Structure 1
Amino acid sequence: MTDILGYKGKRVVVTGCYSGMGHATAKMLGELGAEVHGLDFKECDLPLASFNQIDLRDPASIEAGVSAIGGKVDSLFNCAGLPTGFPAMDIMKVNFIGLRHLTEQVLPLMADGGAIANIASTGGLGWSRRIPTNMEFVTTQGWDAAVEWCEANMETVNEGYSFSKENVIVWTQFMGARLIKQGIRMNCTLPSPTETPMMKQFHEASGKDVVDAAAEPLGRYTTAEEQAGGLVLINSDLASVVNSVVFPVDGGFMGGLATGQVDISKMMRRGRKSE
């Protein structure tokens, strides 16, 4: 079993490959023998099979980027995202509306055995309390309808980040159950705080103590490479029936939260700040 993950010779697409988790994921996939095609707003320094600049706030840019890749795509890694601190509609477009639109462009290029991994966040854990609202939004048809929904419901969208990540989680579960009938899997990861260029914005928007609370019980921030490992695993051949899963890559945060070993009172400041 020399290629247990099954990436050798596979054509994969990675968004957000310029930096952070996306860069680490693209690098890892290349080292595993995949043919890596990158998409990002800024150019990537890795030796990719191709790179195309896209803006996830612009559907035409997304469509042009995917069209330039063409051919069969075996795996898609949706790693691009914006942190808190940006305009709410920009966050919604990049983190969910653009992610969904890009995925919809890639899906016709995928066949039985294809896999999609999305990056969500523990910031989206409120999804379970308002599934009807999330489902109403994620099932909007097309770019314009999603934007119009957000503009009509800005009190729900709020600062953008939490709601965008809630919808990545709900949409992943919804689409995973549908796409598996075509032999295509979709899962998402829940990273704990990770040392990437985005961390400065998270500290400024939420407070370092709030972010640090989400790094327990591990007691440190994870690395982009550790997060890439989770993404590469769930999209691999080894995980062939892992589907519609919300996969914590968090050093035990979710387990600690469920069993009362994480101080949730610090985390709740995030919600109060954004109200």
Structure 2
Amino acid sequence: MDFLGYKGRRVVVSGCFSGMGEATARQLLEQGAEVHGLDYKPTALKLASFNQVDLRDPAAIDAAVGKIGGKVDALFNCAGLPQTAPALDVMKVNYAGTRRVTERVLPLMQAGGAIVSVSSNGGMGWSRRIPTIMQLIQADGYEAAVKWCEDNAETVREGYAFSKEAIIVWTMLMSNRLIKNGIRINCTMPGPTQTPMMSHFEQATKASVLEAAMQPINRRSTPDEQAAALLFLNSPVASYVNGVSFAVDGGFMAGIATGQIDPRSLMANA
């Protein structure tokens, strides 16, 4: 049961109220970790501590992380908003707020620490927009990142895809810097997952597109399946895994890369 090595480790889960974050916090508790939660809504889980925080408010982020204090062994960035929310709010939570949480937790980490963030297969176009994404990443600080998004609304668009692309590139950039201090950082790229947020995706996306994104496994993942990947990446077992965008999608990205899935099937919304 202690194969992943979480027993007694002190961890922080952002977005612990529902979905992947709730599943992650619950699995960490089962593994014997000391879990500290952050979310906009209170959790029913019996955590070591919980701080209610709005990732659209940098001062609230700073205060919440300050209350946790002490040494942190692992950070799980699971909080997020769907594309049905205002685009700027999506960017604040999915990118700027996630980055702010990470930057505030980092001083609490030592060598052997690990960070993982939830991106998405919706961010798979990151490689075509690296120069633009780097402009956002180079906007230093929460307020500067928000200002960049306001000034580049046409690039940001609905916010969801671009925020997930930004998380992937930011993860890659930070992995080379943080590993010099013995800290790893990775992210996952989930496929369609049956969480409370899925109803928002169904509202904003044609059913044919969601069905195409479930190939070749042809079902949605569960929050627990996504959480298991997050626990692995942040565990001592994955000590040589760094800077990875880990597709947890039942083979979808593999199908795209090998031409077995037609990417045009994802363009029905355009």
| TM-score with structure 2 setting the length | 0.98
1:234 is matched with 233
Amino acid at match of 2:149: C
User: How do 1:38-187 residues align onto structure 2 when only pairs under 5 Å count?
Assistant: 38-187=37-186
Say if 1:57 and 1:90, in contact at 8 Å, map to a contact too: yes
2:194 is matched with 195
1:29 is matched with 28
1:263 is matched with 262
In 2, distance between residues paired with 1:139 and 1:125?
A: 21
In 1, distance between residues paired with 2:227 and 2:4?
A: 14
What secondary structure does 1:36 align onto? strand
Aligned residues: 270
CA deviation string 1:225-268 (max 9, x = no partner): 00000000000000001000000011111111111222321212
CA positional deviation for 1:4: 2.2
CA deviation string 1:53-80 (max 9, x = no partner): 0000000110111011000000000000
In 2, distance between residues paired with 1:88 and 1:258?
A: 29
Amino acid at match of 2:256: L
| Consecutive aligned runs of 4 or more in structure 1 exceeding 4 Å deviation | none
In 1, distance between residues paired with 2:211 and 2:174?
A: 32
In 2, distance between residues paired with 1:102 and 1:256?
A: 34
CA deviation string 1:140-187 (max 9, x = no partner): 111111111111110000010010000000000000111000000000
2:216 is matched with 217
In 2, distance between residues paired with 1:144 and 1:49?
A: 31
Say if 1:124 and 1:163, in contact at 8 Å, map to a contact too: yes
Fraction of identical pairs, as percent: 61
In 2, distance between residues paired with 1:240 and 1:64?
A: 30
Q: Which moved more, 1:174-183 or 1:259-268?
A: 259-268
| TM-score with structure 1 setting the length | 0.97
Amino acid at match of 1:171: W
In 2, distance between residues paired with 1:269 and 1:74?
A: 43
CA positional deviation for 1:207: 1.4
What secondary structure does 2:139 align onto? coil
Amino acid at match of 1:249: V
In 1, distance between residues paired with 2:100 and 2:155?
A: 21
What secondary structure does 1:106 align onto? helix
In 1, distance between residues paired with 2:83 and 2:92?
A: 13
In 1, distance between residues paired with 2:38 and 2:158?
A: 26
Amino acid at match of 1:210: V
Amino acid at match of 1:10: R
Q: List alignment gaps of at least 5 residues for structure 2.
A: none
**How big is the alpha-carbon RMSD for the aligned residues of Structure 1 and Structure 2?**
0.8
